[in-house]
């Protein structure tokens, strides 16, 4: 019986983002930024930050 090469592929998970820098880049107000820092901590995955942000203002053309 032949040995099969059982290679495993490593898929890295989402990188953690700095919550305060991301909020400043998007223009989130200070109270909302404090709430996110309390909820998520200093670093969190991007999808967690986006899912906990309030809906933004619509951009009309």
Span 16-57, pLDDT tens digits: 999 999 999 998 999 999 999 999 999 999 999 999 998 877
9 assigned to some structural domain: no
29 assigned to some structural domain: yes
- The residues that bridge with 45 in the sheet, in sequence order, are 16
How far apart, in whole angstroms, are the C-alpha atoms of residue 32 and residue 20? Answer: 10
27 assigned to some structural domain: yes
Range of the domain at 34: 16-52
60 assigned to some structural domain: no
With beta carbons less than 8 A apart as the criterion, state whether 38 and 17 touch.
no
11 assigned to some structural domain: no
59 assigned to some structural domain: no
34 assigned to some structural domain: yes
pLDDT at residue 30 in the model: 94
How far apart, in whole angstroms, are the C-alpha atoms of residue 21 and residue 48? Answer: 15
How far apart, in whole angstroms, are the C-alpha atoms of residue 24 and residue 2? Answer: 57
41 assigned to some structural domain: yes
With left for phi above 0 and alpha for psi between -120 and 50, is residue 3 left, alpha or beta? beta
The domain total for the chain is 1
């Amino acid at each position: 019986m032949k040995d099969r090469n059982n290679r495993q592929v490593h898929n890295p998970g989402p990188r953690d983002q700095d919550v305060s820098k991301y909020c400043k880049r998007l223009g989130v107000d200070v109270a909302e930024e404090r709430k996110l820092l309390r909820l998520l901590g200093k670093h969190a995955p991007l999808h967690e930050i986006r899912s906990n942000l309030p809906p933004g203002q619509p951009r009309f053309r």
